[in-house]
Structure 1
Amino acid sequence: MTKIRQPRFKMGAILSRVHRFIYLLLDGRFVSRRGNAQFLLLTTEGRRSHRMKTVPLLYLLHNRSPSVIASKGGSPKAPDWLLNIRAEPKVRVQIGGVRQDGTARIASDEEREELWPRFLECYSGYAAYQARTSRRFPIVIITQPDD
């Protein structure tokens, strides 16, 4: 029987690091939008290292709060940032040049049903990612203290 190799997500990790570097360097100018997609930087505390980890993610606003999707390019494994949020929901987001602290939570089933088509509208690649895995991608909503 031929062993099926799982895709390696190294290229995605490399592009993510480059995007994060440029986003920070330019304070979000020129790299916070691409077509319909808007990007933010999400910073979480590493659940084991306790070091701060920052990743660029496509986001949508849901009731004035940014929401992100934990797709990891269709990997069967959840992204590290999601595991970090489950351990410590306090996060920091940067949208353009604005940085804010917030609290992350997994969207309810009703919220996910509303947000999933909006994410597909913004980036149709999520449908292909979802087809690669049986893992249902959680959507994370980040609320600010005044919400």
Structure 2
Amino acid sequence: MYLRVMRRVGHYRWFAVFMKHAGSRADRALIRASCGRLSLGGPQMPTMLLTTRGRRSGKERTVPVYFVRDSNTLVAVCENFGLDAPSSWLRNLLADPKARIEINGVSASYLSRPATEQEVARNMPKLAAMWPAHDTYMQRSGTRHVFVFEPVDTQT
């Protein structure tokens, strides 16, 4: 029932503003405190903590992001809840594609890149099924940025 309610209210602009300014912070704290076992999205909505380097400040910035797995890569979509301004993590990744991602308390290094058309076609239906508001956000803002995160081999 919780997930059904979340998926329904996710389409409203007030929810987008709330999540942008307060919900993301609360979710980040919940994920960190539980080592990834708990998230506002629940277990049916895999959430990673994405850490990028600020393109102007140089400081690390961490945000919770829903994702799907595609073979050995992770795929996430950035629509900034359908709000007018693009999300800062998108701009940070475009300036510096290196990222640190934490899933279930385990952190690893990744390189990001925009998804190919085939990757978008393959993964966007899974992302939209998980969080139907992705389509609402696309309609509202007119933009959608799908990113692929490839693990960096640190063993070499």
TM score, norm. by length of structure 1? 0.87
Match of 2:31 in 1: 23
Shift of 1:30: 2.2
Shift of 1:31: 2.2
Structure-2 separation of matches of 1:32 and 1:67: 19
Aligned AA (2:126): R
The answer to whether the Cα contact below 8 Å between 1:70 and 1:138 also exists between their aligned partners in 2 is yes
Q: Determine helix, strand or coil for the equivalent of 1:67.
A: strand
Match of 1:145 in 2: 152
Match of 2:3 in 1: none
Identity of aligned residues (%): 24
Normalized per residue, the structure richer in helix is 2
Q: Determine helix, strand or coil for the equivalent of 1:34.
A: coil
Which runs of at least 4 in structure 1 moved beyond 2 Å after TM superposition?
Answer: 7-10, 30-33
Flag structure 2 segments of 5+ consecutive residues without an equivalent: 1-12
Whether 2:119 is the aligned partner of 1:111: answer yes
Matches within 5 A, 1:53-92: 53-92=61-100
C-alpha distance after superposition, 1:4-46 (max 9, x if no partner): xxx6754122100011011112211222862531100000000
Aligned pair count reads 139
Structure-2 separation of matches of 1:33 and 1:96: 14
Structure-2 separation of matches of 1:94 and 1:27: 9
C-alpha distance after superposition, 1:69-116 (max 9, x if no partner): 101111232210010000001100000111001111110112111111
Structure-1 separation of matches of 2:37 and 2:94: 30
Provide the alpha-carbon RMSD of the alignment.
1.7
Shift of 1:124: 0.9
Flag structure 1 segments of 5+ consecutive residues without an equivalent: 1-6
The answer to whether the Cα contact below 8 Å between 1:105 and 1:140 also exists between their aligned partners in 2 is yes
TM score, norm. by length of structure 2? 0.82
Structure-1 separation of matches of 2:77 and 2:28: 17
